Structure 1
Amino acid sequence: MKEVFTLIKEQIQNIGIIFRISRYEDKAEYQSHYLGLVWEYLYPLIQIGIYWVVFGVGLKHGSSTHGVGYLPWMVIGITPWFFMNRAVLDASKSIYERVGMVSKMKFPVSVLPTIKVVSNLTTFWTMLVFTILIGLLNKVYPAVSWFEWIYYFICMIAWLIAFGIFNSTISVLVRDYRILLQSVMRMLFYLSGVLFNFETNAFPAPMVRILQLNPFFYVINGFRQAMFGEGHFWQQGTLTIVFWGFVLFFLLVGSHLHYKFRSRFVDLI
């Protein structure tokens, strides 16, 4: 637990650095493109359009899900997924890409995954506003349950930081890990309930219970339940305990490995 407290302390002490570098990376990534940061928002919108046409119009023939139109149902799920997917992959290579630079100065390497998480938040907020507009157009109006987004946002950030410190360290120790992680994230895209609802009679009950244990599903489903007023987070006692168990596990293992091998990162790379 000592490593966990040290990790959290470094994040808090360097919060200013985290936000400054994340803003710089936002501008630097697309500075050579004609549309610049517009691609941050254009690419997700193109993807949403494709998935809606294929899964919403083509396969579902425009039918609703739980009495809600497929488009708002899908968009509220795909918004946190786009953010989490990119944050996970970016954080996994954060130390690998920057360890040479930070080795020449006094810099808390543990904040590098967090910087990647924060740098993707701008797109998330924009997509969330877009989601609300889609909901309003489909007669999904603001409700008290929307305040539960605050809880699920905290869950999402906690999970990404814990998973990020683990992935970024393992990526340095095992070169092939990033390739494996990319494949796993592609698989989880379909197993996290982003595009279709697996909580139906079409799936065996044991399979549904296993898929519900996925931390990404917990966040995605939580955002949906809050938007459509289908339940509250305190009603999901077992899933909540499992989710925070995942967060604690990856935080403990990730922070331990990080501080154990941090002095050797340059040599390992």
Structure 2
Amino acid sequence: MNNVMLIIKEQISSFGIISRVSKYEEKATYQSHYLGLMWQFLNPLIQIGIYYLIFGIGLNGARDVDGVPFIVWMLIGIIVWFFINTSLLGGSNSIYNKVAMVSKMKFPVSILPSINIMSNLVSYSWMMGILLTVMLGFGIYPTVYWIQYIYYFICMIAFLFAMGVLNSTITILVRDYHIMLQSILRLLFYVSGSIWDIQSRNFPDWLVHTLQLNPVYYLINGFRETFLSQGWFWQAPTLALIFWGIILIILLIGSHLHMKFRARFVDFI
């Protein structure tokens, strides 16, 4: 637990560095492109259009999901998924790609996954703006349920931070891990409810309950319940406890490995 507290303190004390470096990363990534930072939301926007044509119109026939227009229902899941997927993959490689630079500078290596998460927030913010515009266009207006967006956003950041610490460390120790993570995320895309309603499928009850234990499903479903005013997070206390229990376990393991090996990261590379 001491390792967890130390890493969290490093994030707090280095928040200014995290913010500045993340802004630099955003500009550097698209510096040579004509449209620049516009690609941060154009890329996911194009993918959303493709997924809607295939899964929304092609497979679903543009039918509503529980009375909600499919495009709105899908957008909520896809936007959350894009942010999670990009942050997990980027966080996994964050230390590996920057460890040589960090070894020559005075700031903790543990903030690199956080820098990656903050960099991705710009694209996420643009997509959330598009989501709100689409929802208003379909007559879906804010309700008191939207307050719990704060809770689920904190859940998402906590999940990404815990996974970032763990994945970035394992990627240093086992380089093949990053490739394996890409394959795992492709599978998670289809079993996390981002593009279809797991509960409406003809799956056995035990399989549905098992899939609901997935932290990514918890987040996507939570965002949908928030924006579509379907329920409060405390109405499913068991799933909430399981989610935070998983986060704690991941953070404990990730922090232990990170603190144990980070003095030798350069040697491993």
TM range (shorter): over 0.9
Shift of 1:105: 2.3
Matches within 5 A, 1:25-104: 25-104=25-104
In the TM superposition, 1:1-269 aligns within 5 A as: 1-269=1-269
Encode CA deviations 1:183-215: one digit per residue, 9 max, x unaligned.
001110111000000112511111100000010
Native 8 Å contact 2:14 2:107 kept in 1 = no
Shift of 1:36: 1.0
Q: Distance in 2 between matches of 1:167 and 1:257?
A: 10
Task: For residue 37 of structure 1, give the secondary structure of its aligned residue in structure 2.
Answer: helix
- RMSD value, Cα: 0.7
Identity among equivalent pairs (%): 55
Structure 1 runs (4+) greater than 4 angstroms displaced: none
> So what's the TM-score if we normalise by structure 2?
0.99
Q: TM-score, normalised by structure 1?
A: 0.99
Q: Deviations over 1:10-40 (max 9, x none)?
A: 0000000000000000000011111111111
Q: Contact conserved, 2:95 with 2:113, CA < 8 A, in 1?
A: yes
Deviates more, 1:247-256 or 1:54-63: 54-63
Determine helix, strand or coil for the equivalent of 2:200: coil
| Alpha-carbon distance in 1 for matches of 2:169, 2:6 | 16
1:160-189, CA deviations, whole angstroms, 9 ceiling, x for partnerless residues?
000100000000000100000000011101
Check conservation: 2:110, 2:165, Cα contact below 8 A.
yes
Deviations 1:81-102 (A, max 9, x none): 1111000000100110111111
Q: CA–CA distance in 2 between the matches of 1:224 and 1:70? A: 12
User: Alpha-carbon deviations, 1:27-80, whole Å to 9, x = none?
Assistant: 000111111111111011111111111111111111100110100000011111
Hey, what's the Cα distance between the residues in 1 that align with 2:88 and 2:225?
Answer: 23
Unaligned runs of 5+ in 2: none
Residues in 2 aligned to 1:228 and 1:19: alpha-carbon distance in whole angstroms: 32
What runs of 5+ residues in structure 1 fail to find an aligned partner?
none
Aligned to 1:67, what secondary structure does the other structure show? coil
Matched AA of 1:107: F
The residue type paired with residue 155 of structure 2 is C
